Chain A
Amino acid sequence: MELTVEKLTHRYGDVPVLQDINLHIPAGEILCVIGPSGCGKSTLLRMLGGLERPDAGQVLQRGSAPADCLNPLTFVFQDFALLPWRSVGGNISLVLEDHGIRGQAADTIICDVLARTKLGDFRDALPRQLSGGMKQRVAIARALAVNPAVMLLDEPLSALDAQTRELLMEDLIALWQRQPFTAVYVTHNLAEAVRLGHRIAVLSRRPGQVREVIEVDIPLSDRAPGDPHLEDLQSRLWQIMKDEAMAADQELLDA
């Protein structure tokens, strides 16, 4: 399934947040969206997933989702959004129950996604017993359980420490290589963007506009941390971002 964003514009009250955004997300590709904080990345992602209505413009989906897909557009949130009163297994079964998947069928799916995210031994643990990285792996397992056509990830690694981030990034790459999925990956971390993005969209400061869309034509498997091409690309992105970030930093919050 592919997504197209057409002339999307949005304001909260008097504050314009997104202005005339046009984007294309082809099937099987990861689009990274970067931009200074407060530029409307999360808002854009909520609109992509149908959680919020834009003032103008639209988000179009083309092509059909795989037959066994339960929830075509699936989010992974920055703060994990796990139910603290449900175990790891219970948090995953939550998104299956409404589709009438229970008992043996649910069990098969839960075991499969927990194995894919290396959580096999933690099925009965409660979220409070898990580290941040493990919680995010549970959230990713939950997203995989509905077999999404498009994954919408909102700074999924930002709440984690650098080592955990690196590990999870490798996990995400491995998952994509096993079965390429379409994804929009919002981040403010340039290193994550150059490691994971097939294309990288740079947004300006608020109101967010697309400054540039950069293609990265190195296969995901060939991108290692410290790769000179990626470093080059990263510093190019930083040049574009720097002015925006500095200007955004100087703005009064509610001016």
Chain B
Amino acid sequence: MPETARPVPFRGGGFRPVSKRGAGVVVFVLLLAVIEWGTRAGWISSLTLPRPSDVAATLVDLARSGLLWTHLAPSLTRLLVGSLLGVTAGIGVGILIGLFSYVRAGLIPLVAALFPIPKIALLPLFVIWFGIDEGSKYALIALGTFTPTVVATYGAVDNVDRTLVRMGQSFGLRWLSIVRKIVLPGALPGILSGLRVSIAIGIILLVAAEMLGAEYGIGAYILQAGSLYDLERLFAGVVILSSLGVVTSWAIGRLENWLLRWRS
């Protein structure tokens, strides 16, 4: 009996996410549309969720009155100064841990002890050390971004291909040249992906610090709205925060593409 020919069934594919442009936007728009419909039709009570169109109107008002900038400017400054301090120190310490056995043995336990502390719990202490104003907020964000940066950086240095370091030595390169031309560029991908986590933590701490004591700032704005149970303004604040997250993550993505253009 002649066998009938059948096509070999396909079993490959999958496990390889590719970027589908616009999918995220569709999910977003759909969700907003459902909420808008629900609040208008009445099966979502106005105490549960604000109407998206009202939140949008609040945002527009905020921008028109100039109040948006009044709150955004101090927040951005705090985030920038704090995370710049924390990330710079973190990369420096991470590289030292990656390169020197004694620094590694001495500092890894300390970093491990610092990492899980909810930094916000230290705010009262920071207020005493650095003052009630900007100082304590910078310190909080700096410490919060410092620890994840250290961990990401020394992990990245550890993962630099040792055969490249060996190659550098075999050509008689100076120690500093090996660090600067082989170890640092090799660790850069890991450092940059650590940066994403650090900045996200920085934003969380920024809001927390502003909620505990600030006149202006996105955190203060959300706190005021919350205590008045003004859902539109509360959600307007949340939208601003989300946008901040999206924008920083996009900026780091661009930075990666540019610095790591040798990758592919």
Contacts and interface: CB of A to CB of B under 8 A. Distances in A.
Given A79-B163, A94-B181, A84 B171 contact: no
Interface string B131-173: 0000000000000000000000000000000011011111111
Given A83-B182, A94-B181, A74 B171 contact: yes
Interface string A133-167: 00000000010001000000000000000000000
A55 B163 CA distance: 22
Interface in B43-72: none
A86 B174 CA distance: 18
Nearest to A52: B166
B185 interface: yes
A110 B207 CA distance: 55
A212 interface: no
Contact of A84 (B163, B170, B177, B262): B262
Interface of A is mostly: loop
Interface residues of A, number: 22
Contact of B174 (A71, A75, A77, A98): A98
A57 interface: no
Nearest to A139: B167
A98 B178 CA distance: 10
Interface in A177-227: none
Contact of A75 (B167, B177, B181, B264): B167
Interface residues of B, number: 19
A54 interface: no
A81 interface: yes
A118 B147 CA distance: 49
Interface string A85-98: 11000000011011
Interface of B is mostly: helix
Q: Which of A49, A79, A86, A95 has the most CB of B within 10 A?
A: A95
Nearest to B188: A85
B169 to A, nearest CB: 6
B186 to A, nearest CB: 8
Contact of B262 (A49, A126, A142): A126
Contacts of A128: 262-264
B164 A83 contact: yes
B262 A77 contact: no
B88 to A, nearest CB: 22
Contacts of B174: 98
Nearest to B169: A51
Interface in A43-61: 49, 51
B185 A83 contact: yes
A92 to B, nearest CB: 11
A75 B170 contact: yes
A146 B171 contact: yes
A88 B96 CA distance: 30
Contacts of B169: 51
B167 A81 contact: yes
Interface of B: 163-164, 166-174, 177, 181-182, 185, 260, 262-264
20 contacts: A49-B170, A51-B166, A51-B169, A71-B171, A74-B171, A75-B171, A77-B163, A79-B163, A81-B166, A83-B164, A83-B185, A84-B262, A85-B262, A86-B262, A98-B171, A98-B174, A98-B177, A128-B263, A142-B171, A146-B171
Given A74-B170, A98-B174, A128-B264, 5 more contacts: A71-B170, A75-B170, A81-B166, A83-B181, A128-B262
